[in-house]
Structure formats: C-alpha cells, structure tokens
Structure 1
Amino acid sequence: MRIVIIGAGEIGFHVAQRLSQEHKDVVVIDKSPEALRRISDHLDVQTILGSGSSPVLLEQAGIQQAKLLLAVTDSDETNLTACLFARALAPELTKLARIRNQEYLHYKSTLTREILNIAHVINPDQEVVLALERMLEVPGAMEVNPFAGGRVKLIGVKVCPDSPLIGVRLMDIPDRYRDNRFIIAAIVRDERLLIPTGPDALRREDVVYFICGGDRVERVLPLFSPCTTKIRNAMIVGGGSVGLLAAKALERKGLSVKLIERDPQRCEKLAGELDKTIVLHGDGSDGDLLQEEGIREIDAFIALTGGEETNVLLSLLAKRLGAAKTITRINKFAYIPLVRAIGLENVISPRISAVHTIFRHVRRGKVISSVFIRGEEAEALEAVAQEKSPIVHKPIKDLRFPKGALILCVIRGEEVIIPDGNSVIRPGDRIVILSIRANISKVERALAVKLEYI
C-alpha cells in the first residue's frame, strides 16, 4: 500500500514514522532539506525534495500507484493545489488535506465533493475543540473516544482511592454489575500499558480504559472515580483561533466561561464575537489575577495559548492555586508523556487529533474510525465485520485472535452489545477492537480477508 505524504512537519513525520514501523510503502515530499534529513535519518521511507504541489514531483512519487495522499503542510494553498493535481493524475486516489483557513472551510462541501473530491478535510483547531468538548462532557475522564456516533465510548480515567473496584478481579466484575455492562480494555500501571486478563485486579492510581454504551457512562464512571463533579464553569487562557472556537463551543454547552487574553486588540475582537463569555485583558500567568477571578471555584482551567511550554506552566500554576481540573494544549508529540509524568494528565493536541483522523483512512478492511491510546502503545479500531472475515460466525472464545488484541464491543443495528466469550459476530456488525501496536497488522488482515493470521 503506497502512501504519499506532502509535508514533513510534526504531523507528516509522525504519520510516516508509524507507517514505516508497519512496513508500509511511504513517500514524503517537502521543500525543506532539514525536514527531509530528519525523515531520512530516522525512518525507512522514500523522500523527495521539492513542492508537493508540483505535478512532476507527484508523478515521481508514484501517485498513480498510491492508495492515499496526505497533504499536511502548513500551507493550505499547497495542500489544495496538491489535491487538485492528484485528482487529475490519479482520479481514484483517496485524498486527505489539512486546511486551517476558516474562509476555505466555508466551502468544505465544495472541496470534498465537487472540485477536489477530498475524502476528508482536517482542521486541527476544530479537531482539538471537539476533543475538549468530549473531555468536559465526562467529568473525571482523561480521554473520551466515541464510536458508533457516540453510542459507545472508550474512556480513560484514573482510579480513585475510594473506588469500589479496587482489588476486584476483572473476571468477577460482570456478575457484580450486570445492569451496567462494561469492559476494562487496558490498564496503565507504573507508566506501562497492560492488556488485562480475568485474574488481574485494579489498584489505586491505575489509569484504566473502559468501554461501555454512551448512555451508561454516568453510571459506570463513578465506579472508578466516585469523587467527580459536573463541569459548570471554565476558564480559558489564550484567545487565539483555538481559544475562540473553544469559548463558542462551551457557550453552546451552557457553561459559564471566562477567557483571558493579553493582547488588548484581540480582546476587543473576542468580545465582539462571543455572546456570554467574560473576556479579560491580562496575563494568564499572573497568580493574583487568577485568584481575583476565582480560580479555586473554577471546575476546568484550560490552557490554549500557542506556546506549549507556556501552557504547561499555566496549568501547573492553576493546579497549585486550586483549580479542580486542568486541561493543557500540547503540540509536540514528544512532550505528552513528559507532561503527564509531572501530573498534568488531561492533555489535548491538535496534531494527535489530526493523526487519529488520518489513520482511519490508512487502515485496511472497513475501518470506520481509529484512535491511539496512551502514547500509541495501543490502538482502538471501529470496523465493519465482513462476510469473509475469520472473526464472524464463531463464538469469540473460539477465535484465534492475536495475543494483546481484544474485541470490546459489538454494535448490531441499534443494539450495543458488550460481549462475552459466547458472543458471536455477524457480517455487517460494527465492532470495536483494541490491539497493542505490534499486532495491528494482524488485526488488519483479520478485518480485511479470510486468511490465517496467527
């Protein structure tokens, strides 16, 4: 499967890195010799120096043989031009483009259907706001990943010391909570991700990923984190494009919002575009200002400035001053485990959100969505079970499924099924599978065609 990536920045490098580890045929085009040198020094992929908007270079990259084009440079115009020539050179090619300019996004349907036939327009700002909304809708959650249009949710949460599940073997949980079925998909303990088995038991301070029906979250979450309270208000620091989109989104949710921005002219613009948000001119790192604005009564402090180091310091300050929950915007992938190690567990990243969208289109089989969890040590896939797949027509307990991979949920029509060993997958079912990184290719083959995959 050949994949052409235009742009060797953070997103392009990260996607190329992951694909090269899975032995995909990858070509990266970029105008920067330094960016391509970084690719060549670390990854086993082909690189081409030049503009990805050049039809000559697209042909040189083998665009006619490619299955997927990812246009993820920082230039919207380059990405759009690349998709234009790609459509002319390879009409059947699937194209994804990163677009940030709101003026272009007003014509999203035209770009995706009429002119360029782009399969998906990736807007990192909008993606990160969606992730923020999901996190605030589920108080206490560190991550919220919806599947099947929100009817199923995979949630990451830290186990509180007073959780009734501490010390309980996983095999005993279904009998105790028959009315609220859920599956514990993964446990992060001492910075290691574990795919648990029946005899395993939860410990305090574990980070747990569990899956359940979307309508059951309010009942299941308190089993892990009984001390959580509903988010009623939020304080945002950073009035850039992401901060503005976030404030609008939280207004629509009915939250009371304060937004701090240090640029007075930007404050005037924000005040003119926001209906109910209180816009404050000031420095978000000013502890006196935060205390004057009631940081101790704030349910969610959200650091959304353009500088990730600034966001980390802001969140640490807010946490020290008594904010109940902090959410930190981080761009560099390498920073995320470091930030979590110092106690800032709630992280949102425009680039990670963009990568999740991209990998939905990379996966083989009828994959509908894909998300990485905990530093990409594992991946959750939502896919449609096919007639010729080896996972259908057999009880799950009899499947020769790769070690480190679990079938977490089955969606059959309007029914959400949390399966057990006797559950049988039927063709056309939507299933959610969690797999460790090493076995993703085996899971892909199981979803795609009837092959021996052990």
Structure 2
Amino acid sequence: MKIIIIGAGQVGSTLAENLAREYHDITLIDLDEARLQFIQDHHDIRTVTGTGCHPDILLSAGIEDADMLVSVTNSDEINIVACQVAHSIFNTPKKIARVRARNYFIKDYKDLLFSDSNMPIDVLIEPEQAVTDYVRKLVEQPGALQVLDFADGVIRMIGMRATKNSPLVDQKLKTLREHIPKADARVAAIYRKNKAIVPSGDTVIEDGDEVFFIAAKKNIKK
C-alpha cells in the first residue's frame, strides 16, 4: 500500500517506521529537513521537504497514485487542508487527519464541517496513540472506512462503503450468505445519507450506503 504521511513528529515518524517495516511504500513530508534526513538514513522511507498541504509538495510525494494520506502535523488546519487538497485535486481514496482542537467537534458544527461536500476527511483522530493503532487496522482491512475492536481484540467491526459493483447492493440482508458464502459476519448498522438505519433481514443495501459488519477478528478477511 502506498501511504503519504505529513508530519515527522513523534506520531508521524513512529507511524512511518512501523508501516515501512511491514513493507508498505511510505513517503514522509515535513519542513524539518535535518529530521527527515535522519529518518531516511535509518529507515526505508522516502522523504519530501515542504508544507504538506501544498499541492506541489503532495505531487512531489506521489499523491497521484497514493492509497492513503495521513496528516499528523501539530497544526489542525494544515491537517484539514491537506485532506481537502488530496480529495479535491487528486481524489485520494483514504484521508486521515489528526484534529486536536475540541472547537471543531462541537455537535452543531462537526457534521456540517466534516462531510464529503465540505471537508472530506474519512477519519478524524484525536488521541496520539490512536493514530498509529487506527492506521494499522485500516491497512489490514483495505477498503474499510472504519475499524473498531471489541472484547480485547477478539471481535472486530469494520465499516465499508457499498458500491454499485458490490454483490450486496440491491440485495436483502437475509440473503447475505447466498451472495458471500464465506462471510461469517452480520450487519450491525447501516448509514444512508448520514442517517442511521436499524437493519433487519428485509433491509436492502443501496449504492453509497455505509455498512458496518461485525465478526470474530479471525474471520474478517474471509
């Protein structure tokens, strides 16, 4: 997987090092050229010096064919704008931003701000350690919108976007096993146009739905 990380602080550099060890194609962007050189000397990580939300810098980092952008600088605003640029200009599939200021999470504003039509950030992460853990889970489950673990990691819930080419679109949930015979999972929730739907056997999955599956972690990749 090709991943671009903006911010070579503790979170960004640790994330880059961990993912590089797992043989992912990692490019790290930061303004601190000396720190980038140190990281590059010790790890198999490509680096680019510059402001990560600038389109030309993202181009230099290879954003055009990147699978994921993770922006974890000390500036919430740079992280937000970087995701916006990645979406609007380069159509990057997955965009993750660390946003620490609670002002952005006020209930009346959050849903309006962070949406596909306004600020298209797929995942907003606040706690420092959660960034590394969350990205690694997403890498394990390509195509997932969200990944959450329960019961000490035994149970996993993943959120996926239903597309018109999916075997589940236009099908009732009770026929899930017919279309995906190896699926040992159940649908826990469906979000359609930002509204939650309580699923039943007769619920029909539509193109664009966010579908949340829950299963034993060992069965997820099946």
Letter of the aligned partner of 2:216 in structure 1?
V
Letter of the aligned partner of 1:430 in structure 2?
I
State how far apart, in whole Å, the 2-side matches of 1:90 and 1:381 are. Answer: 35
Q: Call closer, same or farther: CA 1:110–1:36 in 2, change over 3 Å.
A: farther
Does the aligned pair in 2 maintain the 1:359–1:370 contact within 8 Å? no
**Structure-2 residue corresponding to 1:430:** 214
**Structure-2 residue corresponding to 1:11:** 11
Instruction: Give the drift of 1:383.
Output: 5.5
State how far apart, in whole Å, the 1-side matches of 2:91 and 2:142 are. Answer: 21
Instruction: Give the drift of 1:109.
Output: 1.9
| Identical columns (%) | 29
**Structure-1 residue corresponding to 2:147:** 369
State how far apart, in whole Å, the 2-side matches of 1:413 and 1:104 are. Answer: 30
1:382 lines up with 2:160 in the alignment = no
SS in 2 for 1:431: strand
State how far apart, in whole Å, the 2-side matches of 1:429 and 1:119 are. Answer: 18
Does the aligned pair in 2 maintain the 1:68–1:362 contact within 8 Å? no
Instruction: Give the drift of 1:429.
Output: 6.4
**Structure-1 residue corresponding to 2:55:** 55
Q: Call closer, same or farther: CA 1:27–1:111 in 2, change over 3 Å.
A: farther
Instruction: Give the drift of 1:391.
Output: 9.6
1:122 lines up with 2:125 in the alignment = yes
Instruction: Give the drift of 1:357.
Output: 2.6
1:358 lines up with 2:138 in the alignment = no
State how far apart, in whole Å, the 2-side matches of 1:67 and 1:27 are. Answer: 12
State how far apart, in whole Å, the 2-side matches of 1:101 and 1:38 are. Answer: 30
Does the aligned pair in 2 maintain the 1:4–1:27 contact within 8 Å? yes
Instruction: Give the drift of 1:23.
Output: 0.7
1:88 lines up with 2:88 in the alignment = yes
Instruction: Give the drift of 1:98.
Output: 0.8
SS in 2 for 1:90: coil
Does the aligned pair in 2 maintain the 1:72–1:97 contact within 8 Å? yes
TM-superposition CA deviations, 1:425-452 (whole Å, max 9, x none): xxx9632336xxxxxxxx9xx827xxxx
From the CA coordinates, give the structure whose radius of gyration is larger. Answer: 1
Q: Call closer, same or farther: CA 1:37–1:380 in 2, change over 3 Å.
A: farther
Structure with bigger RCO (C-alpha 8 Å, 6+ apart): 2
Gaps of 5+ in 2: 159-166, 168-176, 189-211
Letter of the aligned partner of 1:360 in structure 2?
K
**Structure-1 residue corresponding to 2:112:** 110
State how far apart, in whole Å, the 1-side matches of 2:66 and 2:155 are. Answer: 23
Q: Call closer, same or farther: CA 1:26–1:380 in 2, change over 3 Å.
A: farther
State how far apart, in whole Å, the 2-side matches of 1:102 and 1:16 are. Answer: 26
* TM-score, normalised via structure 2 length: 0.66
Does the aligned pair in 2 maintain the 1:2–1:24 contact within 8 Å? yes
Instruction: Give the drift of 1:85.
Output: 1.6
**Structure-2 residue corresponding to 1:79:** 79
Instruction: Give the drift of 1:58.
Output: 0.4
**Structure-1 residue corresponding to 2:182:** 392
Letter of the aligned partner of 1:119 in structure 2?
D
Instruction: Give the drift of 1:42.
Output: 2.6
Q: Call closer, same or farther: CA 1:381–1:6 in 2, change over 3 Å.
A: farther
Instruction: Give the drift of 1:61.
Output: 1.0
**Structure-2 residue corresponding to 1:316:** none
Q: Call closer, same or farther: CA 1:413–1:108 in 2, change over 3 Å.
A: closer
Does the aligned pair in 2 maintain the 1:29–1:50 contact within 8 Å? yes
TM-superposition CA deviations, 1:289-336 (whole Å, max 9, x none): xxxxxxxxxxxxxxxxxxxxxxxxxxxxxxxxxxxxxxxxxxxxxxxx
Residues 307-346 of structure 1 correspond to what in structure 2 (within 5 A)? none
The alignment's C-alpha RMSD in Å is 3.2
**Structure-2 residue corresponding to 1:29:** 29
**Structure-1 residue corresponding to 2:221:** 447
